[in-house]
């Protein structure tokens, strides 16, 4: 037992790594000994439906064939859609019917649709529009180690271990948050790029890129694709890999220039500075477009982690609650994207923490000038991009009331006001 405690970290590392490996083995169980790449283009023909020609591909496997991926190749002028109808054998051995809907685009040479089912019948249809040609349809099932999933399992395992077996680590909640927020955030950035995923991300990227460029803004085709949000829709790892290669290839030559009236930054654009700084670094290092795009997101993530680190550290109580809220999927996802919401959330949170130190835990009848000024400043910065939250600054006017009350009464009133402000601001 003593030896186990002495080497618990090594044992935990081995267990977590083995768990991640086992998950990958299980995820690829259908491919072991049954890998294939089957061209079914000879099953394709052109038919007419409601006066419109369409491609049809019909494939049957009476005994059932496990299909991991359907792949499509062709020459397309615009975005084209296709439908897939299947008869699948479920886990109970019953045959069920399923439908899939996907699209292709002129930008990528190949598209794919994940099926991951044992199929007895498959029918694919696509309209035969002018200047569009479907040249190849294939099915595949092969082992594919997903590094994103692998590292995700590693991080989950490490977090569980630290939570239950590293008491010293969990006592330093702010460091616990920083390590895992950065790790999960960087995994999100790596897995979800180079394309827009969050709300209005193309607008936030555009403004960050302009700030990073200064007076003269040079746009590449890849940058314009992001700004106009015309990238093809990707839903498989293979498509994202092709998209990354395409964006890197078209992210070097300047195709449009614009001149800004001023290279200054307006108050409502201050939230973009962390992203713009890292975009500037990536551009000047002549990195591929996908790397520059990821660096901008990392700037936002790093700012979010630093501000929330101090919010958790300076909090007099409820540190775990703060860390829990800060690591919820939506805040962490936004912090790993182009957006000002993470600045709004983190700076207002830090301002509320500084305010609560004065309202809850002030042991003297005098103000802590640094805390009061800091709370006003943090709340103000957080409200610059979303003026709707400016009334939160009025919380500072309540502080004299707390100084006049006894400690027990002031805590109950402060708790009420905080809950009221939190829920009313959502």
More confident residue, 368 or 241: 241
DSSP, residue by residue, 182-236: HHHHHHHHHHTTTS--STTHHHHHHHHHHHHHTTEEEEEHHHHHHHTT-SPP--S
Q: Is the pLDDT of residue 419 over 60?
A: no
Q: What is the pLDDT of residue 412?
A: 53
What is the pLDDT averaged over residues 200-216? 92
Report whether pLDDT(6) > 70. Answer: no
* Mean pLDDT lowest among 14-23, 50-59, 269-278, 293-302: 50-59
181 near 305, Cβ under 8 Å? yes
Contact 362, 316 (CB under 8 A): no
The angle that helices 407-424 and 341-361 make with each other, rounded to 10 degrees, is 160
pLDDT of residue 423: 46
Say if residue 295's pLDDT is above 70.
Answer: yes
Given pLDDT bands bounded at 50, 70 and 90, which one contains residue 418? low
What's the mean pLDDT in 389-406? 73
* Residues in CB range of 118: below 8 A, 6 or more apart: 64, 65, 66, 67, 88, 89
**Mean pLDDT (whole number) for 25-47:** 90
More confident residue, 39 or 164: 39
Report how far residue 181's alpha carbon sits from residue 189's, in angstroms, rounded to the nearest whole number.
12
pLDDT at 425: 45
Backbone angles phi, psi at 292, to 5 degrees: -65, -45
Q: Provide the β-strand partners of residue 389.
A: none
pLDDT band at 406, cuts 50/70/90? very low
219-267 residue pLDDT tens: 999 999 999 988 877 888 888 888 999 999 999 899 999 988 777 788 8
Mean pLDDT (the chain, rounded): 87
- Residues 323-343 have a mean pLDDT of 93
C-alpha span between 31 and 116 (Å, rounded): 11
Which segment of 194-208, 365-379, 411-425 scores lowest on mean pLDDT? 411-425
Using the predicted structure, report yes or no on whether residue 349 has a pLDDT greater than 60: yes
pLDDT given for residue 164 in this prediction: 86
**In the predicted structure, residue 289 carries a pLDDT above the cut 90:** yes
Give yes or no for residue 269 having a pLDDT over 70.
yes
Residue 407 has pLDDT above 60, yes or no: no
pLDDT band at 426; cut points 50, 70, 90: very low
| The CA-based dihedral angle spanning residues 100, 106, 108, 113, taken in that order and rounded to the nearest 10 degrees | 10
The top-scoring range by mean pLDDT among 3-7, 25-29, 257-261, 333-337 is 333-337
Examine the pLDDT at 410 and tell me if it is beyond 50: no
Band the pLDDT of 22: cuts 50, 70, 90. Answer: very high
Residue 403 is predicted with a pLDDT of 64
Q: Specify the pLDDT at position 111.
A: 92
Report the C-alpha gap between 217 and 389 in whole angstroms: 32
Give per-residue pLDDT as tens, 111-156. 999 999 999 999 999 998 887 889 999 999 988 888 999 999 999 9
pTM to 2 decimals?
0.84
Return the higher-pLDDT residue of 390 and 38: 38
């Amino acid at each position: 037992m003593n030896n186990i405690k002495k080497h618990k970290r090594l044992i935990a590392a081995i267990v977590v790594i083995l768990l991640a490996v086992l998950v990958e083995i299980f995820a690829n169980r259908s491919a072991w000994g049954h890998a294939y790449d089957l061209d079914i283009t000879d099953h394709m023909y052109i038919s007419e439906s409601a006066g419109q020609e369409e491609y049809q591909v019909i494939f049957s496997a009476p005994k059932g064939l496990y299909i991991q991926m359907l792949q499509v190749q062709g020459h397309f002028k615009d975005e084209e859609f296709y439908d897939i109808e299947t008869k699948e054998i479920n886990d109970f051995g019953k045959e069920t019917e399923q439908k899939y809907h996907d699209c292709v685009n002129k930008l990528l040479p190949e598209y794919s649709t994940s099926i991951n089912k044992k199929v007895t019948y498959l029918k694919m249809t696509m309209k035969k529009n002018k200047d569009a040609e479907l040249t190849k349809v294939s099915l595949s099932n092969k082992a594919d180690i997903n590094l994103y999933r692998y590292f995700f399992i590693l991080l989950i395992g490490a977090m569980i271990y630290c939570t239950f077996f590293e008491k010293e680590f969990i006592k330093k909640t702010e460091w616990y948050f920083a390590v895992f927020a950065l790790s999960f955030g960087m995994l999100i950035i790596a897995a979800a790029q180079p394309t827009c995923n969050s709300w209005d991300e193309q607008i936030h990227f555009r403004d960050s890129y302009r700030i990073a460029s200064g007076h003269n803004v040079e746009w590449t085709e890849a940058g314009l694709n992001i700004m106009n949000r015309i990238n093809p829709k990707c839903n498989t790892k293979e498509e994202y890999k092709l998209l990354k290669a395409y964006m890197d290839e078209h992210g070097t030559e300047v195709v449009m220039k614009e001149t800004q009236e001023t290279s200054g930054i307006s108050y409502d654009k201050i939230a973009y500075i962390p992203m713009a700084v890292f975009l500037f670094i990536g551009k000047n290092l002549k990195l591929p477009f996908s790397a520059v795009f990821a660096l901008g997101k990392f700037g936002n993530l790093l700012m979010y982690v630093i501000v929330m680190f101090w919010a958790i550290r300076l909090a007099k109580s409820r540190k775990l609650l703060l860390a829990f809220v800060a690591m919820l999927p939506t805040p962490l996802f936004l912090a790993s994207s182009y957006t000002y919401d993470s600045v709004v959330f983190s700076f207002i949170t830090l301002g509320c923490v500084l305010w609560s130190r004065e309202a809850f835990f002030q042991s003297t009848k005098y103000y802590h000038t640094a805390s009061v000024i800091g709370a006003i400043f943090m709340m103000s910065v957080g409200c610059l991009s979303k003026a709707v939250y400016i009334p939160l600054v009025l919380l500072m006017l309540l502080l004299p009331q707390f100084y006049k009350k006894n400690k027990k009464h002031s805590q109950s009133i402060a708790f009420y006001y905080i809950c009221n402000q939190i829920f009313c601001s959502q």
